[in-house]
Amino acid sequence: MRAPRLLLTLRLLIAVGVAKLAGVAIRAIGRQGTHTPGLIARKLYPGIIGAIRHPARVVVVTGTNGKTTVSNLLTEALLGEGMRVASNRIGSNLAAGIATTLVGAVSWTGKPRVDIAVLEMDERSAKLVLPGLAPDVLVCMNLTRDSIKRNAHPAYIAWIVSSALSESTSLVLNADDLIASSLGTEANPRTYFAVDRLPTDGTTPRGAAVDVAICPVCDSRLEWDYWRFNHIGKAHCPTGDFRSPEATFRATEIDASAGRVTLELDGESRQARLINDNIVNVYNEIAVAATLDRLGVTKDRIVAAFEHLEPPTTRFALEVVGRVQLVRLLTKGLVGVACSRAFEYLATFAGRKAIVLNIDEVSERVTEVENTAWTYDADYEYLANDSLGQVVVGGVRRYDQALRLAIAGVDPARIVTVQSEIAGADQVELEGVDDVFNLHSVHNAVITGTPVQERLRARLQERQ
């Protein structure tokens, strides 16, 4: 038996060494090397995610939306605690990217050289990642309707994740998500987070996408204590068969004007800095707090961490140029629920608005065609009000986007289409505008979102 084990160990070390050399070569030519080293490692040793030595603790962050932001915030908070952290926060949340991060977390001889790994994981990759990884903690932000071409009902995605979980993994789950909160089995230790009822919440679901309406036990229609969006809120079955779980970590009083939030942390109340008043980032903040507590960070240190934590600028950035607010906001193309949250947040700004809208996915342009039905899962109706002066739509599907805007009630006279995504920044009318929004998707965040932001900033500076 010893010889086969020695051969496997040698093969593993070869895979680690070759992957490391590939990463060095890729970075030497100016690339980040987040994906290819892991592809090579998995080719040479298919079970490397499970075979490679892991850090003492491993945290996986998954879900439809928010996993990149939460992974980044957790990483920064743990670095602030003096820990050595390995993270794939610069991208690649599939199996190959996670393998790259694990290879980078060990020495050339395979010994761990970090204290903890924080790994963002695409939820569809769970069966390729979780059985070998067996993380100490898995955080699930939400499971909502995603790209039509790659995901089925979110309950199916929940099944994929649950079927790959180890019973030893502690779960940090969104109690307000009726699907994500059901992950795992009774054997999994659970911590729930939530956002308490807000003045804007109702008790009757509305909008384009509502994926849970009936009791999972008896099929009775659910009643809502509060409903926020999609199937996010707090619900119960009138027969008593089902109820949303109670969260021990909650964001309660949100004061957007003061930039403060009250965090209920397992029975203790703390005032903390609000990292962002968008509801998705309120969820992100309380999820980070719950996870840090699970990792043993004191409550006072958790609150202190939020004083300097910020969402990644590719997700959100707000700057004031003269008297105009320039807002960069990720608006996740192909994902109607995520787009609805961006549109809803945009609508909360009281001033006169102009929008540069580039939310088509760059990955779809050359070899594939996305079913544009996803745009009808998004509530473009949030944009149909008199405060919107103009929306400039760029990209290959600009006419599909313009049609959806018009159907939603946006005045066609206010819709401008341009072939180039970046050129839209030059077409938007800035006269009399209080807020300018740069809406982009995930894969065009750098090639489109960044130059659009720079051009809008320059134009606003010129007007001063």
Question: Where exactly are the structural domains of the chain?
Answer: 52-305, 316-463
The kind and range of the H/E element at 85 are: strand 85-87
Backbone angles phi, psi at 8, to 5 degrees: -65, -40
Return the pLDDT at 147. 80
17: CB partners within 8 A, 6+ apart? 108
**Cα 165 to Cα 418: distance, rounded to the nearest angstrom:** 46
Residue 388 phi/psi, 5° resolution?
Answer: -85, 110
> Using one digit for the tens of pLDDT, what is the confidence trace for 319-357?
999 999 999 999 988 888 899 999 999 999 999 999 999
Contact 234, 176 (CB under 8 A): yes
| Residue 1, pLDDT score | 45
pLDDT at 404: 97
Q: What is the pLDDT of residues 307-322, one digit of tens each?
A: 999 998 888 999 999 9
H-run or E-run covering 120? strand 116-120
**DSSP-assigned beta bridge partners for residue 319:** 326
Q: Which amino acid is at 89?
A: R
Structure tokens belonging to residue 420: 């180039």
Q: Judge if pTM exceeds 0.85.
A: yes
246 φ, ψ to 5°?
A: -85, 135
CATH number given to 52-305: 3.40.1190.10
CA distance 337 to 249: 24
pLDDT beneath 50: ranges in the chain: 1
CA distance 269 to 272: 10
DSSP assignment, residue 447? I
Which pLDDT belongs to residue 4? 67
What is the dotted CATH code of the domain comprising 316-463?
3.90.190.20
117 contacts 87 by C-beta, under 8 angstroms: yes
| Predicted local distance difference test score (pLDDT) of residue 367 | 58
Residue 223: predicted pLDDT:
97
The predicted structure's pLDDT at residue 146: 86
Instruction: Convert 358-386 to b/e letters by CB count within 10 Å (16 or more is b).
Output: bbbbbebeeeeebebebbebbbbbbbbee
